[in-house]
Structure 1
Amino acid sequence: MRRLRRVAITTAVLLAAAGLNVIQSSAAQAALPTAAVALGDSFVSGEGAGDYQPVVDANGASQGFPGWSAPNDNAYFCHRSANASLFKANLPGIQDRFNLACSGGQPHDVANASSARANGRTVKSQLDQLRAVAQTHDIDVVLIGLGSNNSQFTFGDVATLCANRFIADAWTGWWEFWAYLGGDVPQEPCTVSDLGSPAEVATATDETTAALRQILDTLAQVDADGVHQVVLQTYTNPLPLDVATQYRDEDGRTDTRDKFRDLGAERYAAGCPIHRASLAPGHVFSTNLGELVKNAYNTLAAERPAANLRVLDVQRAFDGARLCENPGSPSGTLATPVRVMEGPTGNHVTSLSGWDKIRIQRAANACVTYFQTCQESWHPNAAGHTVLGQCLSGALTAATRTVVTCARNANGTLSIS
């Protein structure tokens, strides 16, 4: 098939040199196998879903798991999962699928090597990777998830901020806070402004829109037949608006009290170490991310009315199955719990019961030094990516060409509208 395409291109070049108009034949286009491609960040790369595949780095070397103590910029830590939603979706007519997304991916990484920015990974720009796929395949479906990471904020930083404040509040007494720590360790719940101000969201929207425009321009240049469906996916919150009753207090203490270690350990074990008062601001933040994607879509749809472009709104795709929404969490949920390691050991800590603040700080420091030890936290798990794959299938077959909503019903089924 590749040889057929090269012959067609060579013939086209010769005819063009002879001064003849050239239109590549539909037969030559049909010789290319069809492909679906995923671009963007962790919510489409498959972060949290396990079974991570080797990733080719910027130098062309395939990087398998490099060990827990390896630098986090290693291409493998893009965490491209065989369980990612792209591979779980029903895509009739698609012969091959390519996951080009990278955990932590930003709009910057679309047209530039990720390693050119701080904390980027050693992979080529996503556009270069897309062009490579187009050399051998006719790209028919493109799933894009961009917006949660940018020059203004990142999902990882937001999650770390709120979790760390809760843990500090749970284990550090007021007298220790002032006497030993100088009063400089934030312990209050997160607010909306802590997570993303209107100005920051506006700048992030501009960055995301510009990156999406670059993707659409590149597709117009490289897609064999110029026909492709582009789906812009929003985000879903791994946490509920409030936790189940059993996670609200422990040993007579709530998270509005000083030093609530038993409750802190209970919520960590359940996967939701966060103040109840931080949950509503978190949902405002995830809603803002959804609006960011929709606003980018509105801009691009106005510019390109003929483009086959739509939004897949998945903000309600995990309704009723979020962390700590029901007793028994994290079992039965669609998201990964917050988990740390005591150093790059490969052994995730599932319980903080009986731990003192020094030991907890040591584990938290391991996450800073070796981010891969905790980077799966608060992402869709394998079951969650299966749900997102079903949402993608529904979005591609929905009659609407604008915003498709995928919501989880109380019985676990999905509604696509």
Structure 2
Amino acid sequence: MRRYRWHAAVLLLVTMLLGAFLVVGGPEPAPPPGPPTGVPRVVVALGDSTISGEAAGDYEPGTDGQDGNWCHRSANASIHHTAVRGVAETINLACSGAPSAQVGLGDTEQYTEGSQAGRLAAIAREKRVVAVLVSTGANDDPGFSHVLDNCVQAWFDRGKPGCADVEGPGWQRKVDAMVPKVVRALADIRSVMRDTGYQPADYQLVLQSYSAPISPDVRAELRNLNGCPFRADDLRWVRESGITQITDGLREAARESGARFLDLSRAGLGREACAREDPTQEWFSRLAVRWDDLRSEVRASHALQESFHPNAAGHRQFGRCLGEFLGTDDRAAACLAGADGTLHPAASIGP
């Protein structure tokens, strides 16, 4: 009996020592990968027309209708005016008309281009991404550009109800349906960054909202084909309800995703299309027709594509505000005109 107890004690001691060796002496787990080092620091834009640079002109080669690509990425886009300290390059992956599904991961294409988040992955592996700026949602259930088209058509046909009467009753429902799609796109971006070695603290993810391109303050003599052919009620609805409700939805999407949020809904106050006698003082394009495109059967359907988008002057303002926001620790802010007449992020007016 004593011999059995002695053997059992030895066996127990050996088992404990072996276990300790396996725990303490085994190979340590490999540290998680980190962002690339010794490479240029970059800021990347993903999204749709309001950040791609639609109407800002000077489009990147291959994005102005060539082989069906109408993404209209402009050298004047807001991303290129952020002027973030220490950033060597600004990269624009946005595409005019893009839905959030094409911004995220998956097989959705926009104007021949695939996933923007997928392209972000390649950049994140080769360069040090310090911020990702996103504008998306308006081309999902709200279909905001189509709504503006309907508003213009309502101006032509006075016998039909205005777009405010048609869209208003169901607008909140469309915004509510948009929110989870934007959340999914932001989650895809987070996934791409995580899979390429980034932790959330390694970069900033910013979701921006949209600015109303038109307003009830349109000059009376420009409420026609020379500028802004809209009914008064529709102009009021776009600024006071349409854009406001989209902004509230995007604010919720940012909150759910842990992204920072920049509210642009009031950024263009007094600078909307047709708000000034001199169009060079406006930050949005008026009804714009590319007459040469009308002569081409292939390009004619895109001849009005630049209408009612931020112009080059607007993008300079939005980019400056974005850059200043990136330099703060505020979770949210609103771009508003300061005493100097230029846009600045106002944290106290954020959500």
Q: Determine the C-alpha separation between the residues in 2 that align with 1:197 and 1:413.
A: 32
The unaligned stretches of length 5 or more in structure 1 are 1-17, 55-62, 170-185, 248-265, 302-308, 348-365
Q: If you compute each CA radius of gyration, which structure gives the higher value, 1 or 2?
A: 2
Measured against aligned partners, the alpha-carbon deviations of 1:222-273 in whole angstroms (never above 9, x if no partner) come to 15566001111000011123323545xxxxxxxxxxxxxxxxxx6321x211
Per the alignment, residue 248 of structure 2 pairs with 291
> Aligned partner of 1:211: which letter?
A
Determine if the alignment matches structure 1 residue 85 to structure 2 residue 78: yes
Residue pair 2:118, 2:192 contacting (<8 A) in 1 also: no
Per the alignment, residue 187 of structure 1 pairs with 160
Q: Residue 276 and residue 64 in structure 1: after superposition, are their counterparts in 2 closer, same or farther (change >3 A)? A: closer
Q: Determine the C-alpha separation between the residues in 1 that align with 2:343 and 2:65.
A: 38
Determine if the alignment matches structure 1 residue 156 to structure 2 residue 145: yes
Q: Determine the C-alpha separation between the residues in 2 that align with 1:91 and 1:410.
A: 23
Residue pair 1:84, 1:386 contacting (<8 A) in 2 also: yes
Of residues 107, 122, 125, the one that matches 1:135 is: 125
Residue pair 2:218, 2:274 contacting (<8 A) in 1 also: yes
Q: Residue 346 and residue 92 in structure 1: after superposition, are their counterparts in 2 closer, same or farther (change >3 A)? A: farther
Q: Determine the C-alpha separation between the residues in 2 that align with 1:39 and 1:132.
A: 14
**Structure 2 SS opposite 1:268:** coil
> Aligned partner of 1:239: which letter?
I
> Aligned partner of 1:23: which letter?
P
Per the alignment, residue 284 of structure 2 pairs with 335
Per the alignment, residue 316 of structure 2 pairs with 386
| 1:8-27 mapped onto 2 (5 Å cutoff) | 21-23=29-31
TM-score, normalised to structure 1, is 0.70
Greater shift in the superposed pair: 90-99 or 192-201: 192-201
Of residues 200, 203, 207, the one that matches 2:177 is: 203
Q: Determine the C-alpha separation between the residues in 2 that align with 1:327 and 1:346.
A: 30
Per the alignment, residue 93 of structure 2 pairs with 100
> Aligned partner of 1:280: which letter?
R
Measured against aligned partners, the alpha-carbon deviations of 1:170-216 in whole angstroms (never above 9, x if no partner) come to xxxxxxxxxxxxxxxx6332216516522211111111111111111
Question: C-alpha displacement at 1:377, in angstroms?
Answer: 0.7
| 1:161-180 mapped onto 2 (5 Å cutoff) | 161-169=150-158
> Aligned partner of 2:228: which letter?
C
**Structure 2 SS opposite 1:331:** helix
Greater shift in the superposed pair: 192-201 or 378-387: 192-201
Q: How many residues align?
A: 317
The unaligned stretches of length 5 or more in structure 2 are 1-25, 347-351
Determine if the alignment matches structure 1 residue 112 to structure 2 residue 68: no
> Aligned partner of 1:413: which letter?
T
Q: Determine the C-alpha separation between the residues in 1 that align with 2:135 and 2:82.
A: 15
> Aligned partner of 1:231: which letter?
V
Question: C-alpha displacement at 1:41, in angstroms?
Answer: 0.7
**Structure 1 SS opposite 2:163:** coil
| 1:10-409 mapped onto 2 (5 Å cutoff) | 21-23=29-31, 29-54=36-61, 63=62, 65-66=64-65, 74-75=68-69, 77-109=70-102, 110-115=104-109, 120-150=110-140, 152-169=141-158, 187-191=160-164, 193-194=166-167, 197-224=171-198, 227-247=202-222, 267-269=224-226, 271-283=227-239, 284-301=241-258, 309-328=259-278, 330-340=279-289, 344-345=293-294, 370-401=300-331, 403-409=332-338
Question: C-alpha displacement at 1:47, in angstroms?
Answer: 0.8
Measured against aligned partners, the alpha-carbon deviations of 1:309-352 in whole angstroms (never above 9, x if no partner) come to 31011112111111122334x332100111235683479xxxxx
**Structure 2 SS opposite 1:316:** coil
Percent pairwise identity:
29
Question: C-alpha displacement at 1:97, in angstroms?
Answer: 1.7
> Aligned partner of 1:125: which letter?
S
**Structure 1 SS opposite 2:122:** helix
Q: Determine the C-alpha separation between the residues in 2 that align with 1:158 and 1:223.
A: 41
Q: Determine the C-alpha separation between the residues in 2 that align with 1:128 and 1:190.
A: 36
